[in-house]
Amino acid sequence: MTNFLIAKEERINQFRENLRVAGDVLEIGTGSGVIADFCYQSGVDMVIAVDINPHAVNHVRQTYPHIISYESDLFSEITQKFDDIIFAAPWSIGKIETPLDYAIYDDGVVERFFQDADAYLKTNGRLWVQYCDAFEDNFKNFPIWVSNGGFEVVDQWSYSTFGRLVGRNVNVILYRIERSAA
C-alpha cells in the first residue's frame, strides 16, 4: 500500500488511447506521474505535474526526474498558461483524512477546478478530465460545473468497470472539454 494512488491499467489506457496533447501541458493531480510521463514521451514541449499530496510529488520527482513536479492545491502554485490541462479527478463521496484520500474523494475539488481553469488555459486550449458516474450526487453536477466554468464537452470516451466502493458496474469517462463557443 502506497500513500499515493497507483492507477489501474485500464484507466490509464483510456488516456493512452484518446489523449492528444501538444505544446505546454499541465497535469493536475499527477499521482504516480504515469500520465505526465506519457505526455512527455509523446513529445510535447513541456510537462508540469502537480499534486496536493506531497508523497505523490516526491515519487514523481524520483521516478521521472525529467518532469517538473511540485505541490499545489489545484492551480495555487501555477503561474503560466497551458495548451492542455489534464485532471484524472477523484469522484467518490467521503471524508479526506489521509493524503491518499485526496485520490479518492471529491471534496468539491472538481467544481473548483472548473471555476479556476480558464485563467490557466491558452487560447484554443483544452481540458481533459476523467470522472465516473459511480456517485450520482457528484455525477449529476458534473455538467453544471463544466458549464459554470465557461466550458463545454466536445468529445468523450467511456468504459464500464466494477466499482469496488459501490459494488456494481460503473462508467469511467474521459472528457475533452473546451471553452464554450457562446
Ligand X SMILES: C[S@@+](CC[C@H](N)C(=O)[O-])C[C@H]1O[C@@H](n2cnc3c(N)ncnc32)[C@H](O)[C@@H]1O
Where on the chain is the footprint of ligand X (CB under 6 A)?
A: 4-5, 7, 28-32, 35, 50-53, 56, 72-74, 88, 90, 102-103, 109
- Residue 32 vs 69, nearer CB to ligand X: 32
Dig out the grid coordinates for 150 from the structure.
465557461
- Residue 113 vs 151, nearer CB to ligand X: 113
In angstroms, the CA 171 to CA 14 distance is 12
Least distance between ligand X and beta carbon 27 (Å) = 6
- Residue 100 vs 146, nearer CB to ligand X: 100
Contacts of 144 (CB under 8 A, 6+ apart): none
Least distance between ligand X and beta carbon 145 (Å) = 14
Least distance between ligand X and beta carbon 175 (Å) = 14
**Per-residue CA distances from 141 to 37, 133, 145 (Å):** 31, 11, 6
- Residue 108 vs 180, nearer CB to ligand X: 108
Least distance between ligand X and beta carbon 105 (Å) = 8
Least distance between ligand X and beta carbon 80 (Å) = 17
- Residue 46 vs 152, nearer CB to ligand X: 46
Dig out the grid coordinates for 121 from the structure.
488555459
**Which residue's CB comes closest to ligand X?**
29
| Distant-in-sequence contacts of 96-102, Cβ < 8 A, 24+ apart | 98/3, 99/3, 99/4, 99/52, 99/53, 99/54, 99/55, 99/56, 100/2, 100/3, 100/4, 100/5, 100/53, 102/29, 102/51, 102/52, 102/53
